[in-house]
Amino acid sequence: MATITFKGSPVRTDGNLPAVGSVAPGFSLTGGNLQEVTLSDFKGKKVVLNIFPSVDTGVCAASVRAFNKSAASLQDAVVLCISRDLPFALSRFCGAEGLSGVVTLSEYKNDAFSKAYGVRMAEGPLEGLLSRAVVVVGTDGRVVYTEQVPEIAQEPDYAAALKALA
């Protein structure tokens, strides 16, 4: 389990991020069109998993905007923005913001993704939601970068995540 904070108060997650160098765990999440999306759908591409509690918070929205802005210049890479928000909320947000460079995915149907990636908050006010984390998967399907953001109200290190794509 990882220990992070929410506005300074300690919060445990139910696991740890996959180790750098390990094979990224496969997953099945729900896309904006309510269709199943899997990690294997992006085989051969570099994949940024932008994981967050809810797009309806300022920091989460900022991370989706920031990765969308960066995604326009990425070659053979895709950014997957993952939360437990309903697909409708994720689509509404991206539509209202004019964001088209990211793929939004929801874990609302089951919790296999958060178990495999160790990102479900096990306690605190946001218990049951996903912690803020970034995982970068290389074209070979191996994890090349991880960041469990230590404070939920803090943005991830975008530059480090994007550098890992190089």
DSSP string, 86-127: -HHHHHHHHHHHT--SEEEEE--S-SHHHHHHT-BB-SSTTT
11 pLDDT exceeds 60? yes
The DSSP element (H or E) to which 160 belongs, if any, is helix 158-163
Alpha helices in 28-73 (DSSP H): 58-71
Phi (first) and psi of residue 148, to 5 degrees: -90, 105
Q: Which distant-in-sequence residues (6+ apart) come within 8 Å of 91 by Cβ?
A: 32, 104
Average pLDDT over residues 34-40: 95
Average pLDDT over residues 75-101: 79
Contact 108, 87 (CB under 8 A): yes
Domain ranges of the chain: 3-18+41-163
CB-count burial class (<10 Å; 0-12, 13-18, 19+) for 81 = buried
Residues 129-142 have pLDDT tens digits of 999 999 999 999 99
58 pLDDT exceeds 70? no
Neighbours of 85 (CB within 10 A): 25
20 pLDDT exceeds 60? yes
Contact 122, 13 (CB under 8 A): yes
pLDDT of residue 70: 72
Residue with tokens 């939004």: 104
Give the chain's mean pLDDT: 88
Q: Which distant-in-sequence residues (6+ apart) come within 8 Å of 41 by Cβ?
A: none
- Kindly list the catalytic residues: 60
2 pLDDT exceeds 80? yes
The CATH class of the 3-18+41-163 domain is alpha beta
Contact 152, 11 (CB under 8 A): yes
